[in-house]
Amino acid sequence: MDISGSKFLVTGGASGMGRNFTLNLAKLGGDVAFCDLNQDAIAEVEAEGQALPGKVVGFTANVAVEDEVVGLIRDVREALGRLDGVINNAGIFRDGLLVKSDRETGEIKKMSLKKWQQVLDVDLTGPFLVSREFAAAAVENGHGGVIVNISSISRHGNMGQSNYSAAKAGLVADTKLWGNELARYGIRTGAIAPGFVDTPILQGMRPEVLEKLLKLIPLRRPASPDEIFLAVKFVIECDFFTGRCIDVDGGQVL
């Protein structure tokens, strides 16, 4: 698929990697809709996109809410004329150990069901809903397309991230499954599994914590968002790629 002239949706597109994906696709001539919950950030990205070759338009939507996703896909298709690809980037963290014993009191603290469910809702159910609605529209109109799921190195299991690891592992499994199910309709899939990426989340860490994390990476640095976008670009442009996950993690192993 050529990016220039194609129409895309990026979820979580107003900050971090999503913002980068949105603007880079537009720089390459793609028309890009993106969704987020932060109105001010949406306005900033739309303003930055005005000078780019591709159209950039933002929407407010919570990907964990079915009715909002159904409306989002409808509205994006109306705004762009059609939809050729989606990048399921929206995600949240609610870290915590499964159980932890307080050293002083012996009290057992447990990861709450609320923390578990919040992450599964956004990071796994969200991509399911977006991909389902996109695929249904693509099949109905017979034009095919591509689904890019942003997973994580944490899919292998990262301490303190039972919820996030489960969601990101499930997303890779769905990428393979959907690749098989949707190939007959001309719809391809791909997952990207970044390691540590230089985004506001990483930049907000205490220096001593960040230093310890970077020592775990053979390349001794985080990825830039542009480096992750290269993998997204490959999945979109390579028409013989589907159902697989690309690790972009600097050689790190969990």
The residues annotated as belonging to the active site are 164
Smallest CA-to-CA distance from 189 within 248, 142, 127 is with: 127
72 and 49 Cβ atoms separated by less than 8 Å: no
Helix, strand, coil percent values for the chain (each to nearest 5): 45, 20, 35
Which phi-psi region, left, alpha or beta, contains residue 127 (left: φ > 0; alpha: ψ -120 to 50)?
A: alpha
Smallest CA-to-CA distance from 32 within 235, 41, 20 is with: 20
Question: What are the tokens at 186?
Answer: 């001309």
